[in-house]
Amino acid sequence: MRTRDLLRADLVRFRYLTGLTPSSGLKLWAGLLFPRMLPVLLVRLSSFSAGARLAPLSQAISALNCAVFGIEVALRCRIGPGLYLPHTHGTVIGAVEIGANVSIYQGVTLGARGLDATFAPSHRPTIGDEVLIGAGAVVLGGVRVGNGATVGANAVVLADVPDGGLAIGVPARIVDRNDVGSAPS
């Protein structure tokens, strides 16, 4: 997808999730100025610059995003449309790939289990489509978080999460969504 198309999808999803009236044209693009959209814009611009072989510009944009919004995103991470970052401080995204319509809350870490200066895909997570990753969650290593999965707040995921799965706890375990919040018997 072109950067413009990715940004449009990000904006449309942002407006939908925040309850703002969906619009098109100039009003839609003005949405880039919302504080919760600016980090996404910078992620997209950094990625575009890297793809255009403008490494110094890409790194400068990425450093600006880190300094202002507290989010660090690996330049090699492929991110699908509809990215939503409601809060960014303390977030590190070092995944191989992030699918479409993914929401990532503050303090999340997606990365390798150990030092991985080569950015080896086998050492980094892959995030599917329609995934929600709660505040403070950690997803480490060459694991896959399946489509429609949820990673609960502060969970530490070290193994694959199936499609539609709910991972909670330290270390994370997969639980039935119907059992969450029910009183123990």
DSSP state string for the chain: --HHHHHHHHHHHHHHHHTPPP--HHHHHHGGGSTTTHHHHHHHHHHHHHHTT-HHHHHHHHHHHHHHH-EEE-TT-EE-S--B-S--TTEEE--SEE-SS-EE-TT-EEE-SS--TT--GGGS-EE-TT-EE-TT-EEESS-EE-TT-EE-TT-EE-S-B-TT-EEETTTTEEE-GGGTTPPP-
In the set 13, 44, 87, 124, the catalytic residue is 87
Q: Is residue 123 annotated as part of the catalytic site, yes or no? A: no
Q: Which residues does the annotation mark as catalytic?
A: 87
